[in-house]
Chains A and B, each alone.
Chain A
Amino acid sequence: MNFLSYLINGISLGSVYAIIALGYTMVYGIAKMLNFAHGDVIMIGCYVTFLAMSGQGIHPLAAVIISIVVCTLLGIAVEKIAYKPLRRATPLAVLITAIGVSYFLQNAALLLFGADTKSFSSVVTLPALKLADGALTISGTTIVTIAACIVIMVALMLFIKKTKAGQAMLAVSEDKDAAQLMGVNVNATISLTFAIGSGLAAIAGVLFCSAYPTLTPYTGSMPGIKAFTAAVFGGIGSIPGALIGGILLGIIEILGRAYISSQLSDAIVFAVLIVVLLVKPTGILGKQIHEKV
Protein backbone atom coordinates (compact mmCIF):
# COMPACT_ATOMS: atom_id res chain seq x y z
CA MET A 1 0.00 0.00 0.00
CA ASN A 2 2.96 2.26 0.69
CA PHE A 3 4.23 1.65 -2.83
CA LEU A 4 0.89 2.67 -4.29
CA SER A 5 0.88 5.85 -2.26
CA TYR A 6 4.42 6.69 -3.40
CA LEU A 7 3.43 5.97 -6.98
CA ILE A 8 0.46 8.35 -6.79
CA ASN A 9 2.60 11.05 -5.23
CA GLY A 10 5.14 10.47 -7.98
CA ILE A 11 2.51 10.88 -10.66
CA SER A 12 1.33 14.06 -8.98
CA LEU A 13 4.81 15.58 -8.80
CA GLY A 14 5.39 14.34 -12.33
CA SER A 15 2.23 16.12 -13.46
CA VAL A 16 3.70 19.41 -12.24
CA TYR A 17 6.95 18.68 -14.09
CA ALA A 18 4.96 17.77 -17.19
CA ILE A 19 3.04 21.07 -17.17
CA ILE A 20 6.29 23.03 -16.77
CA ALA A 21 8.01 20.85 -19.37
CA LEU A 22 5.29 21.80 -21.87
CA GLY A 23 6.52 25.38 -21.72
CA TYR A 24 10.11 24.32 -22.37
CA THR A 25 9.21 21.96 -25.15
CA MET A 26 6.77 24.25 -26.98
CA VAL A 27 9.14 27.20 -26.90
CA TYR A 28 11.99 24.97 -28.02
CA GLY A 29 9.88 23.55 -30.83
CA ILE A 30 8.93 26.94 -32.17
CA ALA A 31 11.83 29.26 -31.35
CA LYS A 32 14.56 26.58 -31.20
CA MET A 33 15.78 28.01 -27.90
CA LEU A 34 16.00 26.80 -24.31
CA ASN A 35 14.21 29.34 -22.16
CA PHE A 36 16.06 28.88 -18.89
CA ALA A 37 14.05 31.71 -17.35
CA HIS A 38 10.95 29.50 -17.53
CA GLY A 39 11.45 28.18 -13.99
CA ASP A 40 11.54 31.70 -12.60
CA VAL A 41 8.23 32.54 -14.24
CA ILE A 42 6.83 29.79 -11.99
CA MET A 43 8.22 31.55 -8.93
CA ILE A 44 6.73 34.89 -9.98
CA GLY A 45 3.40 33.12 -10.45
CA CYS A 46 3.61 31.73 -6.93
CA TYR A 47 4.34 35.15 -5.41
CA VAL A 48 1.43 36.71 -7.26
CA THR A 49 -0.91 34.00 -6.00
CA PHE A 50 0.54 34.25 -2.49
CA LEU A 51 0.19 38.04 -2.32
CA ALA A 52 -3.31 38.00 -3.80
CA MET A 53 -4.49 35.35 -1.34
CA SER A 54 -2.77 36.37 1.90
CA GLY A 55 -2.43 40.10 1.33
CA GLN A 56 -5.68 40.92 -0.42
CA GLY A 57 -7.75 37.97 0.79
CA ILE A 58 -8.82 37.13 -2.73
CA HIS A 59 -10.49 33.76 -3.37
CA PRO A 60 -7.83 31.13 -4.27
CA LEU A 61 -9.29 30.46 -7.71
CA ALA A 62 -9.36 34.18 -8.57
CA ALA A 63 -5.79 34.47 -7.25
CA VAL A 64 -4.70 31.68 -9.58
CA ILE A 65 -6.37 33.41 -12.53
CA ILE A 66 -4.60 36.69 -11.69
CA SER A 67 -1.34 34.77 -11.52
CA ILE A 68 -1.96 33.18 -14.94
CA VAL A 69 -2.63 36.61 -16.45
CA VAL A 70 0.50 38.13 -14.89
CA CYS A 71 2.72 35.24 -16.01
CA THR A 72 1.28 35.26 -19.53
CA LEU A 73 2.08 38.97 -19.85
CA LEU A 74 5.50 38.41 -18.30
CA GLY A 75 6.24 35.65 -20.81
CA ILE A 76 5.24 37.86 -23.74
CA ALA A 77 7.29 40.78 -22.38
CA VAL A 78 10.40 38.66 -21.81
CA GLU A 79 10.16 37.32 -25.37
CA LYS A 80 9.67 40.80 -26.87
CA ILE A 81 12.39 42.52 -24.87
CA ALA A 82 15.06 39.86 -24.45
CA TYR A 83 14.69 37.21 -27.15
CA LYS A 84 13.09 38.81 -30.20
CA PRO A 85 16.08 41.08 -30.96
CA LEU A 86 18.19 37.90 -31.04
CA ARG A 87 16.05 36.04 -33.58
CA ARG A 88 18.97 35.72 -35.97
CA ALA A 89 21.75 35.53 -33.37
CA THR A 90 23.75 32.41 -32.51
CA PRO A 91 22.06 29.88 -30.19
CA LEU A 92 24.75 30.51 -27.58
CA ALA A 93 23.88 34.22 -27.37
CA VAL A 94 20.20 33.34 -26.85
CA LEU A 95 21.05 30.75 -24.21
CA ILE A 96 23.21 33.18 -22.24
CA THR A 97 20.46 35.80 -22.49
CA ALA A 98 17.97 33.27 -21.09
CA ILE A 99 20.25 32.60 -18.13
CA GLY A 100 20.54 36.38 -17.67
CA VAL A 101 16.75 36.75 -17.66
CA SER A 102 16.57 33.97 -15.08
CA TYR A 103 18.94 35.83 -12.71
CA PHE A 104 17.13 39.08 -13.42
CA LEU A 105 13.78 37.60 -12.39
CA GLN A 106 15.25 36.02 -9.24
CA ASN A 107 16.86 39.28 -8.16
CA ALA A 108 13.82 41.32 -9.03
CA ALA A 109 11.81 39.00 -6.78
CA LEU A 110 14.42 39.37 -4.05
CA LEU A 111 14.04 43.14 -4.27
CA LEU A 112 10.24 43.17 -4.53
CA PHE A 113 9.26 40.37 -2.17
CA GLY A 114 12.27 40.07 0.16
CA ALA A 115 14.55 37.14 0.94
CA ASP A 116 12.50 35.62 3.75
CA THR A 117 10.72 32.36 3.14
CA LYS A 118 6.98 32.72 2.71
CA SER A 119 4.80 29.86 3.74
CA PHE A 120 2.39 29.18 0.94
CA SER A 121 -1.02 27.85 1.87
CA SER A 122 -2.51 25.39 -0.55
CA VAL A 123 -5.06 26.78 -2.98
CA VAL A 124 -6.83 23.42 -2.93
CA THR A 125 -9.63 23.03 -0.41
CA LEU A 126 -10.70 19.59 -1.60
CA PRO A 127 -10.64 17.05 1.28
CA ALA A 128 -8.26 14.11 1.13
CA LEU A 129 -9.53 10.88 -0.33
CA LYS A 130 -9.26 7.87 1.99
CA LEU A 131 -9.22 4.50 0.29
CA ALA A 132 -8.92 0.91 1.54
CA ASP A 133 -10.15 1.71 5.05
CA GLY A 134 -7.78 4.60 5.48
CA ALA A 135 -4.66 2.65 4.50
CA LEU A 136 -4.27 4.83 1.41
CA THR A 137 -4.74 8.56 1.65
CA ILE A 138 -4.62 10.79 -1.38
CA SER A 139 -4.52 14.50 -0.63
CA GLY A 140 -6.81 16.95 -2.36
CA THR A 141 -3.78 18.73 -3.84
CA THR A 142 -2.59 15.50 -5.41
CA ILE A 143 -5.96 14.83 -7.01
CA VAL A 144 -6.29 18.37 -8.33
CA THR A 145 -2.73 18.32 -9.69
CA ILE A 146 -3.22 15.10 -11.64
CA ALA A 147 -6.62 16.26 -12.92
CA ALA A 148 -5.17 19.64 -13.98
CA CYS A 149 -2.40 17.89 -15.90
CA ILE A 150 -4.88 15.70 -17.77
CA VAL A 151 -7.18 18.63 -18.61
CA ILE A 152 -4.26 20.79 -19.79
CA MET A 153 -2.82 18.03 -21.97
CA VAL A 154 -6.15 17.25 -23.64
CA ALA A 155 -6.95 20.95 -24.13
CA LEU A 156 -3.54 21.64 -25.61
CA MET A 157 -3.69 18.70 -28.00
CA LEU A 158 -7.13 19.80 -29.19
CA PHE A 159 -5.97 23.40 -29.53
CA ILE A 160 -3.03 22.38 -31.70
CA LYS A 161 -4.91 19.86 -33.79
CA LYS A 162 -8.17 21.73 -34.26
CA THR A 163 -7.54 25.47 -34.30
CA LYS A 164 -5.96 27.66 -36.92
CA ALA A 165 -3.57 29.17 -34.38
CA GLY A 166 -2.53 25.68 -33.31
CA GLN A 167 -1.85 24.62 -36.88
CA ALA A 168 0.10 27.84 -37.41
CA MET A 169 2.24 26.91 -34.39
CA LEU A 170 3.04 23.53 -35.94
CA ALA A 171 3.82 25.18 -39.27
CA VAL A 172 6.14 27.76 -37.69
CA SER A 173 7.92 25.10 -35.64
CA GLU A 174 8.62 23.12 -38.79
CA ASP A 175 9.51 25.87 -41.27
CA LYS A 176 9.24 29.58 -40.41
CA ASP A 177 9.69 30.82 -43.98
CA ALA A 178 7.16 28.42 -45.45
CA ALA A 179 4.72 29.33 -42.66
CA GLN A 180 5.10 33.00 -43.53
CA LEU A 181 4.36 32.18 -47.16
CA MET A 182 1.01 30.80 -45.96
CA GLY A 183 0.29 34.18 -44.40
CA VAL A 184 1.14 33.14 -40.84
CA ASN A 185 2.47 35.97 -38.68
CA VAL A 186 5.56 34.23 -37.34
CA ASN A 187 6.33 36.77 -34.60
CA ALA A 188 2.78 36.70 -33.30
CA THR A 189 2.83 32.91 -33.27
CA ILE A 190 6.06 32.87 -31.26
CA SER A 191 4.50 35.37 -28.80
CA LEU A 192 1.45 33.14 -28.47
CA THR A 193 3.67 30.17 -27.67
CA PHE A 194 5.47 32.08 -24.93
CA ALA A 195 2.10 33.26 -23.61
CA ILE A 196 0.71 29.72 -23.38
CA GLY A 197 3.91 28.30 -21.87
CA SER A 198 4.07 31.05 -19.24
CA GLY A 199 0.38 30.78 -18.38
CA LEU A 200 0.88 27.05 -17.83
CA ALA A 201 3.94 27.82 -15.70
CA ALA A 202 1.71 29.87 -13.38
CA ILE A 203 -0.63 26.90 -12.93
CA ALA A 204 2.27 24.52 -12.38
CA GLY A 205 3.81 26.90 -9.85
CA VAL A 206 0.66 27.17 -7.79
CA LEU A 207 0.27 23.38 -7.78
CA PHE A 208 3.92 22.90 -6.86
CA CYS A 209 3.77 25.37 -3.99
CA SER A 210 0.52 23.84 -2.78
CA ALA A 211 2.37 20.54 -2.37
CA TYR A 212 5.72 22.00 -1.19
CA PRO A 213 4.66 25.16 0.63
CA THR A 214 7.89 27.14 0.97
CA LEU A 215 8.30 30.13 -1.30
CA THR A 216 11.55 32.01 -1.89
CA PRO A 217 12.92 33.86 -4.95
CA TYR A 218 14.77 30.62 -5.84
CA THR A 219 11.75 28.34 -5.60
CA GLY A 220 11.35 28.10 -9.36
CA SER A 221 14.84 27.07 -10.30
CA MET A 222 14.83 23.44 -9.11
CA PRO A 223 11.44 22.43 -10.57
CA GLY A 224 12.44 24.42 -13.67
CA ILE A 225 15.64 22.44 -14.16
CA LYS A 226 13.86 19.17 -13.44
CA ALA A 227 11.09 19.97 -15.91
CA PHE A 228 13.76 20.80 -18.47
CA THR A 229 15.25 17.38 -17.72
CA ALA A 230 11.79 15.88 -18.19
CA ALA A 231 11.40 17.63 -21.55
CA VAL A 232 14.76 16.29 -22.73
CA PHE A 233 13.95 12.88 -21.26
CA GLY A 234 10.69 12.69 -23.22
CA GLY A 235 12.19 14.20 -26.36
CA ILE A 236 12.41 17.99 -26.54
CA GLY A 237 9.97 19.52 -28.99
CA SER A 238 7.40 16.77 -28.41
CA ILE A 239 4.25 17.50 -26.38
CA PRO A 240 3.42 13.88 -25.52
CA GLY A 241 7.13 13.54 -24.73
CA ALA A 242 6.83 16.28 -22.10
CA LEU A 243 3.96 14.38 -20.46
CA ILE A 244 5.75 11.03 -20.45
CA GLY A 245 9.09 12.55 -19.39
CA GLY A 246 7.47 14.57 -16.62
CA ILE A 247 5.46 11.70 -15.14
CA LEU A 248 8.38 9.27 -15.29
CA LEU A 249 10.70 11.79 -13.69
CA GLY A 250 8.22 12.46 -10.88
CA ILE A 251 7.83 8.74 -10.19
CA ILE A 252 11.60 8.15 -10.26
CA GLU A 253 12.16 11.05 -7.87
CA ILE A 254 9.55 9.95 -5.32
CA LEU A 255 10.46 6.26 -5.46
CA GLY A 256 14.15 7.12 -5.26
CA ARG A 257 13.47 9.27 -2.21
CA ALA A 258 11.40 6.54 -0.57
CA TYR A 259 13.48 3.47 -1.28
CA ILE A 260 17.03 4.61 -1.94
CA SER A 261 17.90 7.86 -0.22
CA SER A 262 16.06 11.09 0.35
CA GLN A 263 19.31 13.01 0.02
CA LEU A 264 20.20 11.38 -3.25
CA SER A 265 16.81 11.70 -4.97
CA ASP A 266 17.89 14.70 -7.06
CA ALA A 267 21.13 12.97 -8.00
CA ILE A 268 19.13 9.94 -9.12
CA VAL A 269 16.90 12.13 -11.30
CA PHE A 270 19.85 13.70 -13.09
CA ALA A 271 21.68 10.36 -13.36
CA VAL A 272 18.64 9.07 -15.23
CA LEU A 273 18.93 12.01 -17.62
CA ILE A 274 22.56 11.19 -18.30
CA VAL A 275 21.76 7.53 -18.96
CA VAL A 276 18.89 8.46 -21.32
CA LEU A 277 21.08 10.87 -23.24
CA LEU A 278 23.78 8.21 -23.59
CA VAL A 279 21.39 5.53 -24.80
CA LYS A 280 18.92 7.63 -26.79
CA PRO A 281 20.19 11.18 -27.30
CA THR A 282 16.88 12.37 -28.79
CA GLY A 283 14.86 11.29 -25.72
CA ILE A 284 11.99 8.83 -25.59
CA LEU A 285 9.79 10.36 -28.30
CA GLY A 286 12.31 12.70 -29.88
CA LYS A 287 13.05 12.54 -33.56
CA GLN A 288 16.33 12.89 -35.32
CA ILE A 289 16.25 16.26 -37.01
CA HIS A 290 17.79 16.21 -40.45
CA GLU A 291 19.18 19.55 -41.47
CA LYS A 292 18.00 20.28 -44.97
CA VAL A 293 20.45 21.97 -47.26
Chain B
Amino acid sequence: MAMLEVKNLEVHYGVIQAIKGISFEVNEGEVIALIGANGAGKTTTLQTITGMLKPSAGEILFGGQDISKIPGHKIVSMGMAHVPEGRRVFAELSVYENLKLGAYTRKDKAEIAESLARVYKSFPRLEERKNQLAGTLSGGEQQMLAMGRALMSKPKIVLMDEPSMGLSPILVEEIFNIIREISAGGTTVLLVEQNAKKALAIADRAYVLETGKIVLSGDAKEMMNNDSIKKAYLGE
Protein backbone atom coordinates (compact mmCIF):
# COMPACT_ATOMS: atom_id res chain seq x y z
CA MET B 1 0.00 0.00 0.00
CA ALA B 2 1.23 3.48 -0.85
CA MET B 3 2.02 5.75 2.06
CA LEU B 4 0.31 8.69 0.39
CA GLU B 5 -2.22 8.27 -2.35
CA VAL B 6 -3.97 11.13 -4.11
CA LYS B 7 -7.03 10.05 -6.09
CA ASN B 8 -8.84 12.18 -8.69
CA LEU B 9 -8.12 15.34 -6.75
CA GLU B 10 -9.85 18.53 -7.85
CA VAL B 11 -9.32 21.97 -6.31
CA HIS B 12 -11.11 25.20 -7.12
CA TYR B 13 -10.32 28.81 -6.29
CA GLY B 14 -13.83 30.22 -6.53
CA VAL B 15 -14.97 29.26 -10.02
CA ILE B 16 -11.46 28.69 -11.34
CA GLN B 17 -10.34 25.09 -11.33
CA ALA B 18 -6.68 24.86 -10.36
CA ILE B 19 -6.39 21.08 -10.09
CA LYS B 20 -8.31 19.04 -12.62
CA GLY B 21 -8.49 15.53 -11.27
CA ILE B 22 -4.96 14.38 -10.55
CA SER B 23 -3.90 11.02 -9.11
CA PHE B 24 -0.50 9.99 -7.86
CA GLU B 25 1.10 7.97 -5.12
CA VAL B 26 4.13 8.10 -2.88
CA ASN B 27 5.55 4.92 -1.41
CA GLU B 28 7.42 4.67 1.85
CA GLY B 29 11.07 5.67 1.51
CA GLU B 30 10.72 7.23 -1.93
CA VAL B 31 11.69 10.69 -3.10
CA ILE B 32 8.99 11.85 -5.48
CA ALA B 33 9.36 14.97 -7.57
CA LEU B 34 6.40 16.99 -8.77
CA ILE B 35 7.66 19.25 -11.52
CA GLY B 36 6.02 21.78 -13.76
CA ALA B 37 5.98 25.41 -14.78
CA ASN B 38 4.69 28.36 -12.80
CA GLY B 39 0.94 28.09 -12.25
CA ALA B 40 0.77 24.37 -13.03
CA GLY B 41 -0.77 23.68 -9.62
CA LYS B 42 2.19 22.26 -7.71
CA THR B 43 1.84 24.44 -4.63
CA THR B 44 -1.94 24.08 -4.68
CA THR B 45 -1.52 20.30 -4.63
CA LEU B 46 0.75 20.37 -1.58
CA GLN B 47 -1.45 22.88 0.24
CA THR B 48 -4.47 20.69 -0.33
CA ILE B 49 -2.69 17.61 0.99
CA THR B 50 -1.81 19.35 4.27
CA GLY B 51 -5.26 20.84 4.70
CA MET B 52 -4.53 24.49 3.95
CA LEU B 53 -6.97 24.23 1.05
CA LYS B 54 -10.08 22.10 0.78
CA PRO B 55 -10.48 19.89 -2.29
CA SER B 56 -13.72 20.09 -4.26
CA ALA B 57 -13.49 16.42 -5.20
CA GLY B 58 -11.26 13.40 -4.77
CA GLU B 59 -9.51 11.63 -1.95
CA ILE B 60 -6.19 12.01 -0.17
CA LEU B 61 -5.24 8.76 1.54
CA PHE B 62 -2.44 8.90 4.09
CA GLY B 63 -1.63 5.51 5.55
CA GLY B 64 -4.94 4.34 4.10
CA GLN B 65 -7.00 7.01 5.86
CA ASP B 66 -8.75 9.80 3.94
CA ILE B 67 -7.34 13.04 5.34
CA SER B 68 -9.09 15.43 2.96
CA LYS B 69 -11.71 16.31 5.57
CA ILE B 70 -9.44 16.39 8.60
CA PRO B 71 -8.62 19.90 9.91
CA GLY B 72 -5.12 20.95 8.82
CA HIS B 73 -3.68 21.28 12.30
CA LYS B 74 -4.40 17.61 13.06
CA ILE B 75 -2.51 16.32 10.05
CA VAL B 76 0.91 17.18 11.48
CA SER B 77 0.62 14.77 14.37
CA MET B 78 -0.29 12.00 11.91
CA GLY B 79 3.27 12.23 10.62
CA MET B 80 3.19 14.70 7.77
CA ALA B 81 5.25 17.88 7.67
CA HIS B 82 5.17 20.63 5.08
CA VAL B 83 8.01 23.02 4.27
CA PRO B 84 6.01 25.80 2.61
CA GLU B 85 6.93 27.87 -0.40
CA GLY B 86 8.81 31.00 0.61
CA ARG B 87 10.02 29.31 3.85
CA ARG B 88 7.48 31.13 6.07
CA VAL B 89 9.70 31.07 9.15
CA PHE B 90 8.43 33.09 12.12
CA ALA B 91 10.60 36.18 11.65
CA GLU B 92 9.89 37.66 15.08
CA LEU B 93 10.86 34.48 16.91
CA SER B 94 14.34 33.11 17.49
CA VAL B 95 15.73 30.15 15.58
CA TYR B 96 15.32 28.02 18.70
CA GLU B 97 11.69 29.12 19.20
CA ASN B 98 10.94 28.33 15.55
CA LEU B 99 12.33 24.83 16.00
CA LYS B 100 10.36 24.36 19.23
CA LEU B 101 7.17 25.28 17.35
CA GLY B 102 8.06 22.58 14.84
CA ALA B 103 7.63 20.09 17.69
CA TYR B 104 4.36 21.73 18.80
CA THR B 105 2.32 18.53 18.54
CA ARG B 106 4.82 16.39 20.47
CA LYS B 107 4.83 15.95 24.23
CA ASP B 108 7.86 13.86 25.22
CA LYS B 109 10.54 16.39 26.23
CA ALA B 110 13.43 13.94 25.96
CA GLU B 111 12.44 12.93 22.44
CA ILE B 112 12.07 16.56 21.42
CA ALA B 113 15.54 17.32 22.76
CA GLU B 114 16.86 14.38 20.75
CA SER B 115 15.24 15.71 17.55
CA LEU B 116 16.65 19.16 18.28
CA ALA B 117 20.14 17.71 18.65
CA ARG B 118 19.71 15.87 15.36
CA VAL B 119 18.55 19.03 13.56
CA TYR B 120 21.49 20.99 14.97
CA LYS B 121 23.79 18.22 13.75
CA SER B 122 22.37 18.39 10.22
CA PHE B 123 22.33 22.19 10.25
CA PRO B 124 25.25 23.40 12.39
CA ARG B 125 24.57 26.96 11.30
CA LEU B 126 21.20 26.88 13.02
CA GLU B 127 22.85 25.97 16.30
CA GLU B 128 25.33 28.84 15.92
CA ARG B 129 22.41 31.19 15.43
CA LYS B 130 19.88 29.63 17.77
CA ASN B 131 19.23 32.86 19.70
CA GLN B 132 19.04 35.05 16.62
CA LEU B 133 15.67 36.19 15.28
CA ALA B 134 14.70 34.12 12.24
CA GLY B 135 13.98 37.30 10.27
CA THR B 136 17.66 38.24 10.42
CA LEU B 137 18.85 35.00 8.76
CA SER B 138 19.94 34.84 5.14
CA GLY B 139 17.68 33.18 2.57
CA GLY B 140 19.63 29.93 2.67
CA GLU B 141 19.62 29.83 6.46
CA GLN B 142 15.89 30.49 6.51
CA GLN B 143 15.39 27.56 4.15
CA MET B 144 17.44 25.37 6.47
CA LEU B 145 15.38 26.58 9.40
CA ALA B 146 12.13 25.81 7.57
CA MET B 147 13.41 22.30 6.85
CA GLY B 148 14.72 21.79 10.38
CA ARG B 149 11.43 23.03 11.80
CA ALA B 150 9.52 20.49 9.68
CA LEU B 151 11.81 17.68 10.87
CA MET B 152 11.12 18.62 14.50
CA SER B 153 7.68 17.02 14.18
CA LYS B 154 9.43 13.70 13.45
CA PRO B 155 7.47 13.22 10.23
CA LYS B 156 7.08 10.04 8.21
CA ILE B 157 6.79 12.19 5.10
CA VAL B 158 7.99 15.71 4.34
CA LEU B 159 6.38 17.83 1.63
CA MET B 160 8.81 20.43 0.31
CA ASP B 161 7.69 23.33 -1.81
CA GLU B 162 10.40 24.97 -3.94
CA PRO B 163 13.23 24.63 -1.42
CA SER B 164 15.79 25.96 -3.91
CA MET B 165 13.86 29.08 -4.84
CA GLY B 166 15.92 32.27 -4.79
CA LEU B 167 19.11 30.61 -3.57
CA SER B 168 22.60 30.82 -5.04
CA PRO B 169 23.89 27.75 -6.95
CA ILE B 170 26.16 26.72 -4.04
CA LEU B 171 23.26 26.88 -1.59
CA VAL B 172 20.99 25.02 -4.00
CA GLU B 173 23.60 22.26 -4.02
CA GLU B 174 23.66 22.26 -0.22
CA ILE B 175 19.89 22.17 0.09
CA PHE B 176 19.65 19.19 -2.29
CA ASN B 177 22.36 17.39 -0.34
CA ILE B 178 20.29 17.89 2.79
CA ILE B 179 17.19 16.50 1.06
CA ARG B 180 19.28 13.46 0.16
CA GLU B 181 20.30 13.10 3.81
CA ILE B 182 16.70 13.43 5.00
CA SER B 183 15.71 10.69 2.60
CA ALA B 184 18.65 8.51 3.65
CA GLY B 185 17.48 8.93 7.25
CA GLY B 186 14.29 7.08 6.32
CA THR B 187 11.90 9.97 5.77
CA THR B 188 9.78 9.92 2.64
CA VAL B 189 9.98 13.09 0.54
CA LEU B 190 7.48 14.70 -1.82
CA LEU B 191 9.34 17.48 -3.58
CA VAL B 192 7.87 20.27 -5.65
CA GLU B 193 10.46 22.05 -7.77
CA GLN B 194 10.85 24.37 -10.71
CA ASN B 195 14.48 23.32 -10.87
CA ALA B 196 13.52 20.13 -12.70
CA LYS B 197 17.09 19.06 -13.40
CA LYS B 198 18.06 18.98 -9.72
CA ALA B 199 14.76 17.48 -8.68
CA LEU B 200 14.95 14.63 -11.19
CA ALA B 201 18.55 13.96 -10.18
CA ILE B 202 17.59 13.06 -6.60
CA ALA B 203 14.09 11.67 -7.17
CA ASP B 204 13.12 8.04 -7.61
CA ARG B 205 10.00 8.84 -9.60
CA ALA B 206 8.47 12.02 -10.92
CA TYR B 207 5.16 13.46 -12.07
CA VAL B 208 4.88 16.35 -14.51
CA LEU B 209 2.05 18.77 -13.85
CA GLU B 210 0.72 21.06 -16.56
CA THR B 211 -2.20 23.46 -15.92
CA GLY B 212 -3.74 21.27 -13.25
CA LYS B 213 -3.25 17.89 -14.92
CA ILE B 214 -0.58 15.23 -14.71
CA VAL B 215 0.74 14.87 -18.25
CA LEU B 216 3.62 12.51 -17.63
CA SER B 217 4.89 10.21 -14.91
CA GLY B 218 7.59 7.65 -14.48
CA ASP B 219 11.10 6.85 -13.41
CA ALA B 220 13.07 10.03 -12.74
CA LYS B 221 16.23 8.87 -14.51
CA GLU B 222 14.28 7.91 -17.61
CA MET B 223 12.54 11.25 -17.58
CA MET B 224 15.86 13.06 -17.66
CA ASN B 225 16.43 11.46 -21.06
CA ASN B 226 12.94 12.13 -22.36
CA ASP B 227 13.14 14.57 -25.27
CA SER B 228 10.00 16.55 -24.54
CA ILE B 229 11.00 16.91 -20.87
CA LYS B 230 14.44 18.02 -21.92
CA LYS B 231 12.98 20.65 -24.19
CA ALA B 232 10.29 21.94 -21.84
CA TYR B 233 11.89 21.71 -18.40
CA LEU B 234 15.59 21.06 -18.62
CA GLY B 235 16.45 23.79 -21.11
CA GLU B 236 18.42 21.57 -23.43
Contact of B91 among A168, A174, A180, A182 (CB under 8 A): A174
Q: Which of B73, B89, B153 has the most CB of A within 10 A?
A: B73
A282 to chain B, nearest CB (A): 15
How extensive is the interface on chain B, given as a class?
20 to 34
- With A and B bound together, what is the CA distance between A96 and B210 in angstroms? 43
Decide yes or no whether B13 CB sits under 8 A from chain A: no
Q: Smallest CB–CB gap between A122 and chain B, Å?
A: 40
Kindly state the interface size class of chain A when it binds its partner. 10 to 19
**Which of B71, B74, B76, B92 is the one whose CB lies under 8 Å from A182?**
B76
A175 and B104 contacting across the interface, CB-CB below 8 Å: no
Given known contacts A170-B93, A177-B52, is B104 in contact with A183 (CB within 8 Å)?
yes
Assembly CA distance A243 to B84 (angstroms)? 35
Whether A183 contacts B52 by the Cβ 8 Å rule is no
| Nearest CB in chain B to that of A161: its residue | B97
CB within 8 Å for A180 and B90 given contacts A167-B101, A171-B101: no
A185 interface hit (Cβ, 8 Å)? yes
Q: Contact between B91 and A183 (Cβ–Cβ < 8 Å)? A: no
Question: B77 interface residue, CB < 8 Å from A?
Answer: yes
Q: How far is the CB of B140 from chain A (nearest CB, A)?
A: 18
Q: Is A164 part of the binding interface, using a Cβ–Cβ cutoff of 8 Å?
A: yes
A186 to B102, CA, bound (A): 15
Say how far A162's CB is from chain B's closest CB, in angstroms: 11
Assess whether B97 is in contact with A167, with CB atoms less than 8 Å apart: yes
A248 CB to closest chain B CB (Å) equals: 24
Interface string of A135-165 (1 = CB under 8 A from B): 0000000000000000000000000000010
B105 within 8 A of A: yes
Please report which residues of chain A, range 160-200, place their CB below 8 angstroms from some CB of chain B when the two chains form the complex. 164, 167-168, 170-171, 174-175, 177-186
Question: Separation in Å of the B9 CB from the closest CB of chain A?
Answer: 19
The A-contacting residues of B in range 69-120, CB under 8 angstroms, are 71-77, 81-82, 84, 86, 88-93, 97, 100-102, 104-105
What is the CB-to-nearest-CB distance from A174 to chain B, in angstroms, rounded to a whole number?
A: 5
Q: Which residues of B contact A180 (CB under 8 A)?
A: 51-52, 72-73
C-alpha spacing A47/B71, complex, angstroms: 39
Q: Which of A170, A183, A292 contacts B90 (CB 8 A)?
A: A170
Interface residues of B in 101-157 (CB under 8 A from A): 101-102, 104-105, 149, 153
Q: Does B50 contact A (CB under 8 A)?
A: yes
CB closest residue in chain A, given B146: A178
Cβ B93 vs Cβ A171 within 8 A: yes
With A177-B52, A177-B84 known to touch, is A184 a contact of B90 (CB < 8 Å)?
no
Q: Chain B residue with minimal CB distance to A176? A: B52
Would A184 and B104 be within 8 Å (CB), given that A170-B90, A174-B91 are in contact?
A: yes
B75: nearest residue on chain A (CB-CB)? A183
B105 / chain A contacts, CB cutoff of 8 Å = 182-183
Sample (8) of A-B pairs whose CB atoms are under 8 Å apart: A167-B101, A167-B104, A170-B93, A181-B50, A181-B72, A182-B105, A182-B149, A185-B71
A-B pairs with lowest CB-CB distance, top 10: A183-B76, A183-B105, A178-B88, A182-B104, A185-B73, A180-B72, A183-B104, A182-B101, A181-B82, A174-B90
Q: A168-B104, A182-B102, A183-B73 are in contact. List 16 more A-B contacts (CB 8 A).
A: A164-B104, A167-B100, A167-B101, A168-B101, A170-B97, A174-B90, A174-B92, A175-B88, A175-B90, A178-B90, A181-B72, A182-B149, A182-B153, A183-B105, A184-B73, A185-B71
